[in-house]
Amino acid sequence: MNFTEIATARQSCRSYDPTRAVEPEKLARILESARLAPSACNGQPYRITVCEGEAAARVAKATQGMGLNKFAPDAPILLVISEADYVPTAALGAKVKKNDYRSMDIGILAAYITAEATAQGLGTCILGWLDDAAIREACGLTGAVRLVITLGYAKEGDTLRPKKRKDMDELVRYVK
């Protein structure tokens, strides 16, 4: 798959096959792509916690407040993305420029994870609705939890939905 094909095929999966495990080699490829994601000063100010089994069940429950993310328990793997310290150069830049590079870096990381998962034939969904304290406790984390990404195979018959995106002229502006 080229990148445009990956971008076209990737969608938020909300219907996982709980009986189908993710192969370790596919997970390893996804994590290697995540390791290669660019970040401010190459600092990678985040940690990825791979949750399976009971840990995945605890994390899934912590994403289900107010009846949301009902599909999360069916995903065999949940990737918890938490904050880590900046490297000194990125910390200085963030302070001087009053810019949150860590949030940008986590967004780029999530894009790399979801793109590689799609290339591996897996589904993902990025969850921002979560109970930070419960997930920290479940995973033994000290850094703030920013995202949880569900990962697994979509159920049979889960078809690609049409993309609803802004028109190009609404999204892009050229300046010379």
The dihedrals phi and psi of 108, each to the nearest 5 degrees, come to -65, -45
Q: What is the pLDDT of residue 68?
A: 98
Tokens of 18: 């709980």
pLDDT value of residue 91: 95
Mean pLDDT of the chain: 97
End-to-end CA distance of the chain: 34
What confidence category does residue 162 fall into, taking pLDDT thresholds of 50, 70 and 90? very high
> What does residue 96 show for φ and ψ, rounded to 5 degrees?
-65, -45
Would the pTM of this model clear 0.95, i.e. be above it? yes
Query: Three-state DSSP class for 51?
Result: strand
pLDDT, position 103: 96
Q: What is the pLDDT of residues 123-141, one digit of tens each?
A: 999 999 999 999 999 999 9
* 81, 48 Cβ separation under 8 angstroms: yes
- How is the beta sheet containing 145-152 ordered, strand by strand? 46-52, 77-83, 145-152, 123-127
Instruction: List, for residues 52-111, the tens digit of each pLDDT value.
Output: 999 999 999 999 999 999 999 999 999 999 999 999 999 999 999 999 999 999 999 999
pLDDT digits (tens, 9 = 90+) for 4-35: 999 999 999 999 999 999 999 999 999 999 99
CA–CA distance, 76 with 78 (Å, rounded to integer): 7
